[in-house]
Amino acid sequence: MIENLVIVESPAKAKTIEKFLGKEFVVKSSFGHVRDLAKKNLGIDIENNFRPEYIVSADKKKVVKELKELARKAETVWIASDEDREGEAIAWHLQEVLELKKEKTRRIVFHEITKEAILHAITTPRSIDANLVNAQQARRVLDRLVGFELSPLLWKKVKPSLSAGRVQSVAVKLIVEREREINQFSAKTYFRVSAVFKTPKEGRDVKAELSKRFDNEKDTEAFLRKCSEAQFTVQSVEKRPGKKSPAPPFITSTLQQEASRKLGFSVSQTMSIAQRLYESGLITYMRTDSVNLSGLAIATASSEIKSSFGEKYLKVRKFTTKSKGAQEAHEAIRPTYISNRSVNGSSQEQRLYELIWKRTVASQMSDAQLEKTTIRIDLSNAEEHFVANGEVLIFDGFLKLYIESTDEETDEEAAGLLPPLKQNDQLSYKMIEAVQKFTAPAARYTEASLVKKLEELGIGRPSTYAPTISTIQNRNYVLKETRAGQTRQISTLVLEDGKIKQQERTENFGQEKQKLFPTDIGMVVNDFLEQYFEEIMNYNFTADVEKKFDSIAMGKADWQEMISNFYKPFHNKVEETSETSERSKGEKLLGEDPKTGKPVAVKIGRFGPMVQIGDAEDEEKPLFASLLKGQSMETITLEEALDLFKLPRKLGQFEDAEVTVAIGRFGPYVRHQNKFVSLSKEDDPYTIELERAVELIHAKREEEKNRIIKTFDEEPELQILNGRYGPYITYNKKNFRIPKSRKPEELTLEACMEIIKKAPDKPSRRKKS
DNA sequence: CAGTGAGCGAGCTTCCGCTTGACTT
């Protein structure tokens, strides 16, 4: 017999709480939800007023069995799942599955994992809130209906195995729309003028910028000519105080953003590192939307600040959550013990911890005090004026510890200290420079900035940001890529000693690092969904249904009625689209083939995006070519499309065999006697000639020779080879690692066989879950 | 790894939100 069984969601939480409570409490975790809709068919009985069909998930059978036994033995069962919609549903499912009797079951909640909070919770139990549970059921059923009706439609109309859902489809839409915005963007050029002036007495430098931009070089030059004859006068000096305040403590989304910006972590990397810190008891829960800090945390942060920096640096703050859908079941993400400035662990764990520590402590520190200075400098012979901005830090405050990063890369220099100047001071110029600039389109999303956007729209939850980002990449709707930029010529004009010098410079632009690009299939699926399911693809869809869930939670609406109102028109549209719409291949006509006059079109084929010359109905079979990596159906030109048919090219004969050149999955290659040789970066497959190709073939043969370390006459299937990762044994088309302690060239056949025998059997690759 | 682009049809794919491991290179 046990007196009390407490059930929480997370095992790490269970461990902590067990310590607070006495011996008469056994604390266990449910590991999140224990039941879900059946996966077969819909898992929803539509005919029967949307009755959900719940089953215990396969991976939860063991937990449920254990909990059931403990619950049977316990006098009182305390269900302490989180105080939000999902948590309430977990509580209800537990009550059902564990067959808990009402009189011995109590529902309790707490937001902080402190002894006081938990003891208080135990004195104030309540019963399960059926309305909140119903709101969750509505959420769950809606997502299942949308996902499991739209996905099969995509299998039929676009390609098998695709998926659609309330969250993922909108995430893809954001990326598709941004890409199109960038494609349609045309950069405008302008000239920015900046000057370095000299103060009259000390001759100190004053950097200033012209208030006006010129849109062509002629006007710019005319202005510089005026400058060469102008008198420069300080027209005004304006000083005003400024302040900066610290950012609130981390929640899931902001942690993901800052870890990406400051540490270069991917969203899923951040979450798994945070998970380890959490499991080691070093930080609080990492999936949260609340910026709230417990009283205890504020107190320890305060004493840490006082002892490390002094009283002056302390400013206790209460932050409030501003994001819309926030459910605030947890605290902000913070160190469990703020007195621990650093922790043991991997370097990634240490760096993430340090980031969390700084952000948490900085949030309770004073504002930084600044003095901002603006000096206006007028020209004697022109309307335009220069402005010099200065910023002096009077008191650093929280900046001592932590500065939040931004996504925008700015090329503006940070304002610094300006020399003392007063009105009517005369300045002379040292140098005035005009640099050609281009306007830039909106930036592509990174994983982290996409999370930020989703959160702003109230779409998705802290526990799903990382999985959503993975899903849209796994489905091949979106690719995370680093792409080299292009170069362009820019012009600069420099005025020095009364002379204007013009210079051309090359500049890189448009390079992208780990950014999200939509694929052709992503765009086709997006356009299909937008055409037929505008409502679900609307950025406000989630926010609108959330309002309805809220009213269900308040007991003002019936969940089945709400679902029914949504489902009827939705399902009709699915049926109608299934029957009437064409297969969606994203087909687009590019133009005419100049040689044959036949139409040239791009579309998604069985093996991905391709170009087709001619119609299927033609007598002659159409020609096909796959798009190359980096090309997109959206942006490919007729010329680029026709180029794809110039390969493979025949270069001529070598050693009585034909040499051809083409582009394959791994780039351009030369083919000869069924052997393939990659071209180097300098070679162009469209222009390469036989001589160079033969040279490459010879080089490859030389490399092959060095590749073979040892062969055995007795066993031709076995070879010792030199590979990319060092020497290895290949046998019957399987490869085996050679232990570091052995010298590969000295291995005997027997020794090789031994290594092969000892090698662990590779299990077949796990299927994507 | 370096192609393919027809068609039949069985059987499978798929959602979002709660939680952790169990798996590789």
Asked whether A278 and A356 are in contact (CB, 8 A), the reply is no
Q: What is the pLDDT of residues A176-193, one digit of tens each?
A: 999 999 999 999 999 999
A144 CA, B9 C1': separation in Å? 28
Buried b (16+ CB within 10 A) or exposed e, A117-127: bbeebbeeeee
**CA gap A500, A225 in Å, rounded:** 8
**CA gap A116, A126 in Å, rounded:** 18
DSSP state letter for A47: T
What average pLDDT does this structure show over A38-52? 95
Is residue A320 over pLDDT 50?
yes
For residue A275, say whether its CB is under 7 Å from any atom of strand B: yes
Q: Which amino acid would we find at residue A284? A: T
DSSP state letter for A74: E
Q: Which contacts qualify for A201-208: CB closer than 8 Å, 24 or more apart?
A: A202/A419, A204/A419, A205/A419, A205/A430, A206/A375, A206/A377, A206/A388, A206/A418, A206/A419, A206/A421, A206/A427, A207/A388, A207/A413, A208/A375, A208/A377, A208/A386, A208/A387, A208/A388
Per-position DSSP letters for A366-417, written without gaps between them? PPEEEEEEEEEEEESS-S-EEEEEEEEEEE-GGGGT-----SSPP-SPPP--
Asked whether A601 and A590 are in contact (CB, 8 A), the reply is yes
For residue A287, say whether its CB is under 7 Å from any atom of strand B: yes
Provide the mean pLDDT of chain A.
Answer: 92
**CA gap A321, A604 in Å, rounded:** 45
What average pLDDT does this structure show over A526-537? 97
Is residue A451 over pLDDT 60?
yes
Q: What is the largest CA-CA distance in chain A?
A: 98
A737 CA, B14 C1': separation in Å? 39
Per-position DSSP letters for A724-745, written without gaps between them? TTEEEEEETTEEEEPPTTS-GG
For residue A142, say whether its CB is under 7 Å from any atom of strand B: no
For residue A165, say whether its CB is under 7 Å from any atom of strand B: yes
A652 CA, B16 C1': separation in Å? 59
Give A8: exposed, middle or buried? Use CB within 10 Å, 0-12, 13-18, 19+: buried
For residue A725, say whether its CB is under 7 Å from any atom of strand B: no
Beta bridge partners of A483: A512
Query: What is the value of pTM for the model shown?
Result: 0.90
For residue A285, indicate whether it is catalytic: yes
Scanning residues 664 through 683 of protein chain A, those with a beta carbon under 7 Å from any atom of strand B turn out to be 664-667, 669, 671, 676, 678
Three-state helix/strand/coil letters over A531-564: HHCHHHHCCCHHHHHHHHHHHHHCCCCCHHHHHH
**CA gap A430, A208 in Å, rounded:** 12
Which pLDDT belongs to residue A761? 53
- The larger pLDDT score, comparing residue A681 to residue A512, is at A512
3-state DSSP call for residue A284?
coil
Q: Closest protein residue to B1 using CA and C1' atoms?
A: A665
Q: Which helix (H) or strand (E) holds A697?
A: helix A690-707
A759 CA, B22 C1': separation in Å? 21
Nearest to A400 by CA among A246, A241, A263: A246
Asked whether A586 and A531 are in contact (CB, 8 A), the reply is no
Q: Which nucleotides of B are covered by protein (CB under 7 A)?
A: 1-6, 11-21, 23-25
**CA gap A307, A339 in Å, rounded:** 11
**CA gap A191, A490 in Å, rounded:** 10
Nearest to A147 by CA among A164, A162, A130: A164
For residue A242, say whether its CB is under 7 Å from any atom of strand B: no
Q: What is the pLDDT of residues A572-607, one digit of tens each?
A: 999 999 999 988 999 999 999 998 889 999 999 888
What average pLDDT does this structure show over A319-345? 90
Which pLDDT belongs to residue A129? 97
Which stretches within A185-288 are classed as H helix? 217-229, 252-263, 267-279
3-state DSSP call for residue A616?
coil
Q: Tell how strand A44-45 and strand A205-210 pair up.
A: unpaired
Q: Which of A285, A313, A567, A669 is catalytic?
A: A285
The token duo for A1 is 């017999």
The token duo for A594 is 């100049």
Question: Peptide bond before A648: cis, by omega within 30 degrees of 0?
Answer: yes
Using the CA of A664, which nucleotide's C1' is the nearest one? B2
Scanning residues 512 through 571 of protein chain A, those with a beta carbon under 7 Å from any atom of strand B turn out to be none
Q: Which residues are CB-neighbours of A732 under 8 A, at least 6 positions away?
A: A717
- The larger pLDDT score, comparing residue A628 to residue A168, is at A168
For residue A764, say whether its CB is under 7 Å from any atom of strand B: no
For residue A624, say whether its CB is under 7 Å from any atom of strand B: yes
Is residue A766 over pLDDT 50?
no
Q: Which residues are CB-neighbours of A326 under 8 A, at least 6 positions away?
A: A289, A290
**CA gap A509, A488 in Å, rounded:** 8
3-state DSSP call for residue A99?
coil
Angle A165-A167-A171 (CA atoms, 0-180°, nearest 5)?
110
Using the CA of A725, which nucleotide's C1' is the nearest one? B25
**CA gap A462, A275 in Å, rounded:** 13
Torsion angles phi and psi, residue A75, rounded to 5:
-75, -45
Asked whether A26 and A74 are in contact (CB, 8 A), the reply is yes
For residue A84, say whether its CB is under 7 Å from any atom of strand B: yes
Using the CA of A39, which nucleotide's C1' is the nearest one? B14
A231 CA, B1 C1': separation in Å? 70
* A240 to A210, A237, A368, A373: CA distances (angstroms): 21, 10, 14, 7
A542 CA, B15 C1': separation in Å? 14
**CA gap A714, A474 in Å, rounded:** 46
Buried b (16+ CB within 10 A) or exposed e, A697-732: beebeeeeeeeebbeeeeeeebbbbeeeeebbbebe
**CA gap A334, A254 in Å, rounded:** 12
The token duo for A376 is 């206006």
Which pLDDT belongs to residue A736? 80
**CA gap A545, A539 in Å, rounded:** 11
What average pLDDT does this structure show over A323-342? 90
For residue A331, say whether its CB is under 7 Å from any atom of strand B: no
Nearest to A509 by CA among A182, A82, A184: A182
What average pLDDT does this structure show over A310-319? 97
Asked whether A172 and A472 are in contact (CB, 8 A), the reply is yes
A32 CA, B17 C1': separation in Å? 9
Using the CA of A330, which nucleotide's C1' is the nearest one? B18
Scanning residues 479 through 508 of protein chain A, those with a beta carbon under 7 Å from any atom of strand B turn out to be none
A165 CA, B1 C1': separation in Å? 35
Is residue A763 over pLDDT 60?
no
Which pLDDT belongs to residue A724? 65
3-state DSSP call for residue A38?
coil
* A570 to A315, A532, A574: CA distances (angstroms): 53, 10, 6
Scanning residues 634 through 653 of protein chain A, those with a beta carbon under 7 Å from any atom of strand B turn out to be none
Is residue A419 over pLDDT 80?
yes
For residue A58, say whether its CB is under 7 Å from any atom of strand B: no
Using the CA of A606, which nucleotide's C1' is the nearest one? B5
Q: What is the pLDDT of residues A693-711, one digit of tens each?
A: 888 888 888 877 777 788 8
Which pLDDT belongs to residue A323? 77
For residue A763, say whether its CB is under 7 Å from any atom of strand B: yes
Is residue A768 over pLDDT 60?
no
Percent of chain A scoring above 90 in pLDDT: 74
A734 CA, B25 C1': separation in Å? 16
pLDDT band at A409 (very low <50, low <70, confident <90, very high): low
A135 CA, B14 C1': separation in Å? 23
* A42 to A164, A284, A549, A610: CA distances (angstroms): 15, 37, 21, 35
